Amino acid sequence: MSLRIYNTLSGKLEEFVPIDPPRVTIYTCGVTVYDDSHVGHGRSLIVFDVFRRFLEHMGYRVRFVRNFTDVDDKIINRAREECAHFMNIANRYIASYYIDMENIRVKPADVEPRVTEHIQEIIEVIRGLIEKGYAYESGGDVYFSVESFPEYGKLSKRNVEELEVGARIEPSERKRNPLDFALWKSAKAGEPAWDSPWGPGRPGWHTECVAMVFKHLGEVIDIHGGGLDLVFPHHENEIAQAEALTGKPFARYWVHNGLVTVGGQKMSKSLGNYVTLREVYTKYHPDILRLLVLFTHYRSPLDFSWEKMEETKRAYERLLSALEELELLKKLPTYEEKGTHPLFERIKEFEEEFFKSLSDDFNTPEALAKVYSLVSELGKVKNRAYSEGKISVQELSAYETAVNSLLKNLRGVFGLLEDYKPECEVKTVVQRELAAGEVLDEKLVELLIEVRDMARKEKAFQIADRIRDGLKDVGIALEDTPAGTKWKRF
RNA sequence: GGCAACGUGGCCGAGCGGCUAGGCGAGGGACUGCAAAUCCCUUUUACGGCGGUUCGAAUCCGCCCGUUGCCUCCA
């Protein structure tokens, strides 16, 4: 099956052809570690996590690199505020990042390089650019000369003249052209600094990614990704440096995810309208965040709200209950039926269409629509089985096949349902943390359900309802089904 | 101001020349001791406005209106 991807560089959907199949190289710009990650970062991380899983699922051997920017102005400022070393700040937020990633189920990249561990490589890139005449040293700084690279602006569809007119870039006597950007910044007093041919200083922002790509993936990579807000200037400046140096296209496909907004406005630190990932995954199961992200196409804006989290939670629970139903259906009396069940055909269609949607520029919302169509089919099966009080062997087998197919694909590609086990309820992170002390509670709930069932058999509904209401007060909901009473926390 | 997107039914959100997206909500029904959950049915001028191309446009083209992003650190 061929995969089509939207390439920011061409502005078109293109068929995905890796340089050296089945090998695929992907680089995405990671976070600057000066604070906790928010939902905007989370979206980007989840989106590329799913791309990577999907490519792996298609049989590609993916090598995935995602960096940490662990030295920059914001980290330095933060360190100054706290009278701490900048590395302490960086290390703290890298640790925090890993906790977030574990909780939102984003797989680690194959290499997760840090800028401070690649200073030498960065210096080599800068040195090469100076040698080839694309960069110049000026008062201890080194700048890339935008005029020297005629294709500058090709990614973000701008031209140098327009940029100069609208330039709000702070003027600097050291720059020849206001659009020139710093590859190396000379150290000011009290700032972290490394030795270089141009004196002590630190790397500018844009060179790090180029140096790390060269080192860990090579001169030309298949996919370079990041948030839409990185297109200009960051990725434009990466292209300028890398291509000036090698004369080859830096990345074959430039892929950018849409931004997360709040009330229509971009979620950002500076606006203060952000919600941290930690806040989300302590309130909701991480699958719900992933589902929220995947319900919108990756290139569209995604407006975050807690109401939407609630909506997504309901959609998630409907999916879960369809899966859990299998164990209850197994308890019904069975009978033999002639022929194969039509549900088997639907499962086959589902799998085909699910991957077809994903192959069309990672259309996850459409893929989810296929998921929910199958879920509806399962609901119909369940309903009929319960109204007849029995289920055919073939139908039960089809239901089980469907559940396994959903589980396999939602786990493998979407990273959902990783902790799902039919006999256990799915818990939020907080619930998991509390789980150790819960065994006793569960026994008590089961005992109460047993007592309630006895009461119901005696038609002592007042007693039965008292138990149900009482459990509701402590956050446990009961559902009576022909196959027995289910309970869950809410 | 420049550049780039986007405007779909109560809300969210796919589709991008002809064929039911899907989710959430709301109303009705089935089921239930009553619920809950689930399923079924309904929510049928849905495609910002005005022109144009076409046998046929939400889907292509033009203009207008509106929203957003980038142009400064940013996933």
- List protein-proximal bases of chain B (any atom < 7 A from a CB): 1-6, 12-15, 21-25, 30-40, 67-75
> Can you give the pLDDT at residue A432?
45
Which of A412, A370, A317 lies closest to A59 in space, CA to CA?
Answer: A412
For A265, list phi and psi in degrees, rounded to 5.
-105, 145
Residue nearest to nucleotide B21 (CA to C1'): A369
A372 nearest nt, CA–C1'? B22
- Cα–Cα dist A250/A244, whole Å: 10
Strand partners of residue A28: A66, A225
What is the CATH code of the structural domain delimited by A4-283? 3.40.50.620
Domain residue spans of chain A: 4-283, 325-423, 432-489
> Can you give the pLDDT at residue A246?
95
Tens digit of each residue's pLDDT (9 = 90 or more) over A161-216: 777 765 555 556 788 888 899 999 999 888 899 999 999 999 998 999 999 999 99
- Residue by residue, pLDDT tens for chain A (490 residues) are 689 999 999 888 889 999 999 999 999 999 999 999 999 999 999 999 999 999 999 999 999 999 999 999 999 999 999 999 999 999 999 999 999 999 999 999 999 999 999 999 999 999 999 999 999 999 899 999 999 999 999 999 888 877 776 555 555 678 888 889 999 999 988 889 999 999 999 999 899 999 999 999 999 999 999 999 999 999 999 999 999 999 999 999 999 999 999 988 999 988 889 999 999 998 899 999 999 999 999 999 999 999 999 999 999 989 998 998 888 888 888 888 888 888 898 999 999 999 999 999 999 999 999 999 999 999 988 888 888 888 889 999 999 999 999 999 999 999 999 888 766 655 444 444 444 445 557 788 888 999 998 999 889 999 999 999 888 888 888 888 877 888 877 7
Token pair in block for residue A44: 């980007």
- Cα–Cα dist A256/A228, whole Å: 5
- The β-bridge relationship of strands A221-227 and A23-28 is parallel
User: Which residues in chain A, range 215-244, keep a C-beta under 7 Å from any nucleic strand B atom?
Assistant: 226-234
Check if A4-283 and A325-423 are the same fold: no
User: Which residues in chain A, range 362-391, keep a C-beta under 7 Å from any nucleic strand B atom?
Assistant: 363, 365-366, 368-369, 372-373, 375-376, 379-380, 382-383, 386-387
- Cα–Cα dist A49/A37, whole Å: 16
Task: Find tokens 């074959």 and name the residue.
Answer: A252
A299 nearest nt, CA–C1'? B5
What is the CATH code of the structural domain delimited by A325-423? 1.20.120
Tell me if A165 sits within 8 A of A154, measured CB to CB. no
**Element spanning A55, H or E:** helix A39-57
> Can you give the pLDDT at residue A341?
85
Distance A270 CA to B73 C1' (A): 9
Distance A296 CA to B42 C1' (A): 27
Within 8 A by CB and 6+ apart from A15, the residues are: A2, A3, A4
How many residues does the structure list for chain A? 490
* Complex confidence, ipTM: 0.92
Tell me if A418 sits within 8 A of A460, measured CB to CB. no
User: Which residues in chain A, range 113-132, keep a C-beta under 7 Å from any nucleic strand B atom?
Assistant: none
- Cα–Cα dist A128/A476, whole Å: 65
Tens digit of each residue's pLDDT (9 = 90 or more) over A240-288: 999 999 999 999 999 999 999 998 899 998 888 999 999 999 889 999 9
A314 nearest nt, CA–C1'? B24
Distance A93 CA to B65 C1' (A): 46
Per-residue flag: A10 CB under 7 A of strand B: no
Residue nearest to nucleotide B38 (CA to C1'): A379
